[in-house]
Amino acid sequence: MSELPNGWAKACIGDLADLNPKQAFDDETVAGFVPMSHAPTNFRDKLRFDERPWGEIKKAYTNFKDGDVIFAKVTPCFENGKAAFVEGLPNGVGAGSSEFFVLRPSCDGVSAKYLLALVKSYDFLLGGAENMTGAVGLRRVPKQFVERYLVPVAPAAEQTRIAAKLDELLTQVDTLKARIDGIPALLKRFRQSVLAAAVSGRLTEEWRAKNGAKIEVEGSTAETSEEFAWPMVRLGDVAVNFSYGSSAKSQPAGDIPVLRMGNIQGGRLVWDDLVFSSNPEELKKYSLQVGDVLFNRTNSPELVGKTATYKGEQPAIYAGYLIRVRCSERLISDFLNYCLNSPQGKDYCWQVKTDGVSQSNINAKKLADFRFGLPSTEEQTEIVRCVDQLFSFAERLEARTSDARTRIDRLTQSILAKALRGDLVPQDPNDEPAGLLLDRIKAQRAAAPKNKRGRRSTMEG
Residues 307 and 264: beta-carbon distance below 8 Å: yes
Note whether residue 143 is domain-resident.
yes
pLDDT in tens, 221-240: 333 344 568 999 999 999 99
Based on the domain organization, do 365 and 441 belong to the same domain?
no
Q: By C-alpha distance, which of 106, 105, 109 is closest to 156?
A: 109
Q: With the C-alpha atoms ordered 99, 105, 110, 111, is the resulting torsion angle positive or negative?
A: positive
Q: Is the preceding omega at residue 76 within 30 degrees of 0, hence cis?
A: yes
Note whether residue 110 is domain-resident.
yes
* Angle subtended by helix axes 112-120 and 377-420, to nearest 10: 120
Based on the domain organization, do 112 and 241 belong to the same domain?
no
Q: Which residues contact 323 (CB under 8 A, 6 or more apart)?
A: 242, 243, 244, 245, 294, 295, 297, 364, 367
Based on the domain organization, do 238 and 345 belong to the same domain?
yes
* pLDDT at site 2: 59
Note whether residue 220 is domain-resident.
no
Note whether residue 205 is domain-resident.
no
Q: Which of 334, 355, 374 is the last residue of a domain?
A: 374
- Angle at 336 (CA atoms; ends 331, 341), nearest 5 degrees: 170
Based on the domain organization, do 360 and 432 belong to the same domain?
no
Residue 137: which pLDDT band, with cuts at 50, 70 and 90?
confident
Residue 215: which pLDDT band, with cuts at 50, 70 and 90?
low
Note whether residue 136 is domain-resident.
yes
Flag the least confident range among 212-221, 249-258, 373-382, 451-460: 451-460
Q: By C-alpha distance, which of 279, 283, 280, 261 is closest to 270?
A: 261
Give the CATH number for residue 50. 3.90.220.20
CB-CB neighbours of 272 under 10 Å:
8
Based on the domain organization, do 357 and 435 belong to the same domain?
no
pLDDT in tens, 164-190: 999 999 999 999 999 999 999 999 999
Residues 420 and 121: beta-carbon distance below 8 Å: yes
Based on the domain organization, do 356 and 446 belong to the same domain?
no
pLDDT at 452 over 90: no
Give the residue numbers spanning the domain of 109: 9-155+428-455
pLDDT in tens, 42-87: 999 999 999 999 999 999 899 999 999 999 999 999 999 999 999 9
Based on the domain organization, do 41 and 143 belong to the same domain?
yes
Is the pTM higher than 0.85? The answer reads no
Q: Which residues contact 127 (CB under 8 A, 6 or more apart)?
A: 145, 149
Based on the domain organization, do 123 and 249 belong to the same domain?
no
Note whether residue 107 is domain-resident.
yes
* pLDDT at site 409: 84
Q: Which residues contact 425 (CB under 8 A, 6 or more apart)?
A: 158, 161, 162, 165, 419
Q: Is 320 helix (H, G, I), strand (E, B) or coil?
A: coil
